[in-house]
Amino acid sequence: MANKRHSYSFPTRIEYGPGAMKDFTAIVKGAGGQKGLIVTDKGIEKVGTAKQLQDYFTEVGIETVIFSDVKSNPTEENVLKGTNVYKNSNCDFIVALGGGSPIDTGKTIKVMATHDGPLEKYDDTKGGDKYIKNNMPPFYAIPTTAGTGSEVGRSSVITVNNVKTIIFSPYMMPDIAVLDPLITVSLPATLTAATGVDAFVHNLEAYIMETFHPMADGLAKEAMEMCVRYLPTAVNNGSNIEARGNMLMASTMGAIAFQKGLGINHSIAHALGVFYDMHHGLANAVILPEVMKYNLSRDQIREKYASLGTIFGVENDAETVIVAVEEWLKSMNLLKNLSELGVKSDKLKDLEAYALKDPCCPLNPKKVEKGDVVAILKNLI
């Protein structure tokens, strides 16, 4: 589709490397930051990373306030409470530290710091993006997991009136994404594996999308190679900085690449998350081989899968690549069936109904028909 109009953006400044979090505080000082709101969650606060960041800011003479009242599925209440802390403390910048939830919350506090409520007004599906102006405070994001890539994203997902609501604006993009592998070493092996496969699936689903975006395709392919090579090491030896750093970067690259969109793997993972509270990365991992087999019947996807043989060190043949993916997942204890994760066969139709309505579903390069998701899931029960 090189003959059609497209709009691309790759503007995020990235500060990468061991010690980047410490160095970043001096960058904020140089930019004139005086008082910051650190948005995080209770878990990150407990392991001491938020305090560590606060100490680094203190060393350069910047005062900060920690706000950690953020749920794993962040709510409007979390955002409004954080906005009040920002305003009442006279802050002039925001730093989000954590996984996708604190980063999404921080992004939305940035909007509400200078925009009137209610938050519902900014619902992207109702054209709310047009109300978001570029008059917001500086916003920085420091991921503590390597998976979501939210640090380079332009949107957030916040539960408003019990509905998952997407708030989107190009102006919500963090001013700097800080990728410091040192702060991901404490992530346990199971979470490292699950979040890492989420990053792999972002890259894979973006890569097979037929939109003309060779830049994203290049990023996606390189990042998949990094995941295949480094994720097992990060899982088995969490303090390996080389592996942690490569996974952080692969996660960021995945989120840049999935500007192209995501597909049915994510739609089903979202359904498993809602019905069974299954970890997003684990859900993506468990269904991955069956979703790949499902997509094979479309020739364009088959060719793309085949081209990944080199990455896995096998023949460039789609079926062989799927076997290699299974072995890769098995090496990290992620080759499971859904019944061992509590999924019941009488729920498959409900899971399908949810997946078919998911916004990623229509983007899947193979058109998903009624009954297809049930068939995929049946093979995993």
Q: Which helix (H) or strand (E) holds 270?
A: helix 264-276
Q: Please count the residues of this chain forming the interface with Fe ion, following the rule CB under 5 A.
A: 1
Q: How far is the CB of 206 from Fe ion (least distance, A)?
A: 11
Paired tokens of 379: 């093979």
**362 to 125, 259, 262, 357, 366: CA distances (angstroms):** 15, 15, 9, 9, 9
DSSP 8-state secondary structure symbol assigned to residue 44: H
Q: Say how many Å lie between the first and final Cα of the chain, rounded.
A: 39
Return the number of the residue (68 or 203) whose C-beta is nearest Fe ion.
203
Does residue 205 belong to the site contacting Fe ion (CB under 5 A)?
no
37 or 208, CB closer to Fe ion? 208
Q: Considering the complex, state which of residue 36 and residue 102 has its C-beta at the smaller distance from Fe ion.
A: 102
- Alpha-carbon distance of 319 to 293, in angstroms, equals 8
Residue 55 CB, nearest distance to Fe ion (Å)?
A: 32
Measured N-to-C along each axis, helices 264-276 and 348-357 cross at an angle, to the nearest 10 degrees, of: 130
Alpha-carbon span 231 to 74, nearest angstrom: 28
Q: Which stretch binds Fe ion (CB under 5 A): 38-46, 67-75, 196-204, 291-299?
A: 196-204
CB of 265 to Fe ion, least distance (A): 9
Q: Which of 104, 175, 180, 198 binds Fe ion (CB under 5 A)?
A: 198
- The DSSP letter of residue 32 is T
* Binding letters toward Fe ion, positions 146-185, x by CB under 5 A: ----------------------------------------
Contact residues for 133 (Cβ-Cβ < 8 A; gap 6+): 114, 115, 171
Stretch that binds Fe ion, among 41-49, 78-86, 93-101, 197-205 (CB under 5 A): 197-205
Q: Is 276 exposed, middle or buried (0-12, 13-18, 19+ CB in 10 A)?
A: middle
Of 118-147, binders to Fe ion (CB under 5 A) are none
* Nearest-CB residue for Fe ion: 198
Q: How far is the CB of 9 from Fe ion (least distance, A)?
A: 20
Question: Which is nearer to Fe ion, 41 or 198 (by Cβ)?
Answer: 198
Quote the CA–CA distance of 373 and 380 in Å, as a whole number.
11
Candidates 160-168, 192-200, 207-215, 217-225 — which segment interacts with Fe ion by CB under 5 A?
Answer: 192-200
> Residue 355 CB, nearest distance to Fe ion (Å)?
14
- Residue 26 contacts by C-beta under 8 Å, 6 or more apart in sequence? 60
Q: Which residues in this chain contact Fe ion in the complex, by CB under 5 A? A: 198
